[in-house]
Structure 1
Amino acid sequence: MIRCHTELMNIMLDHADLKPVFFAPFVSTVMRVEPDWIDYNGHLNMAFYNVLFDRAADEVLALIGAGTDYVDRQRHSYYTAETHVRYLRELKAGDAVRATFQLLDYDAKRLHYFEQLFHADAGWMAATMEVMALHVDMDAARAAPTPPLIAARLAEMKASHAMLPRPE
């Protein structure tokens, strides 16, 4: 049984040679709202919604071959350039959540995607996030073309996600 986000990332990296399967949408592992993330209003602080969305996006990046091993080896990564978050329902300490990831579009240097955060037990939606990310050469500190293997995996993911309704 997979116990944590880091363990899943290590499993994905160990099997990076396997051809990934792109479900529509991608669904993250279960994550938990940590007690230290609760604000003085008694619910999840807005900054930590971003952490949960980011962890789900990390799972997707590992799946397409752009995870931490890729960053270490190639000195390239995806950087978030713009986000739009909608906070729909409060989350509390200990709540189990899952995020979905839908690739809306991509080109040689950009990813445009949409995530939804759901309460894993009750099923209701807590938040959504739309993201524009750039593929960056970290040494040159500028956007750079995505390598062919990652571009091919993005094409497969987009074809799978094309059957999903486009979010508002």
Structure 2
Amino acid sequence: MHRTVRPEWIDYNGHMSEAFYVLVFGYATDAMMIETGLHSSYRESTGCSLYTVEAHIRYLRDVAEGAHLAVRTRILGADAKKARFAHELYVVGEADAAPAPDAAPVATTELLAVHVDQKAGRAAPFPDVIRERLTALTEEPPAWAGRSIAPVPAS
């Protein structure tokens, strides 16, 4: 998934605002859903969709206006009703370029999502074909995944 940083994404500090990292990661989640069969036709025919219930974002480097972005997505696991996945955001040299093998991400996010029956308003099991697809795509989590925010030490 690729995007270019638009002028309106720049904040008062002169770099990409935190809200737009979330936007780019949201587009990457949409792309992952399409690739795994959770696309619009699936949602229309089943009344089910994937809902994000938890997210942890790390902002690692500033991103400037006009920067070309690429996102790498990893499925980290799936069970009957949940999927865990991660996105890594990279600045790349050209609009459709892949990150260099040794490139460091400028931001990461780890997400937990639940498969929801929208009519019933509650979690529902994935169809076997979707769960099997997610399981087949599962990768080892990156070293940064699974961490939480460290508490601020008392003064």
When normalised by structure 2's length, the TM-score is 0.81
The question of whether the paired residues in 2 share the 8 Å contact of 1:30 and 1:120 is answered with: no
- Equivalent of 1:78 in 23, 42, 50: 50
1:136 aligns with: 116
Amino acid at match of 1:113: F
**RMSD value over aligned CA atoms?**
1.5
| Structure having the higher Rg | 2
When normalised by structure 1's length, the TM-score is 0.75
Superposed displacement of residue 155, structure 1: 1.9
1:148 aligns with: 128
2:107 aligns with: 127
1:99 aligns with: 71
* Percent sequence identity over aligned pairs: 36
2:85 aligns with: 113
1:52 aligns with: 24
The question of whether the paired residues in 1 share the 8 Å contact of 2:71 and 2:87 is answered with: yes
2:147 aligns with: none
Write the distance in 2 (CA, Å) between the matches of 1:144 and 1:85.
Answer: 26
Gaps of 5+ in 1: 1-28
**1 or 2, which has the higher helix percentage?**
1
Write the distance in 1 (CA, Å) between the matches of 2:57 and 2:142.
Answer: 16
Amino acid at match of 1:112: R
Superposed displacement of residue 124, structure 1: 4.0
2:149 aligns with: none
Amino acid at match of 2:81: K
Detail structure 1 runs of 4+ shifted over 6 Å in the superposition: none
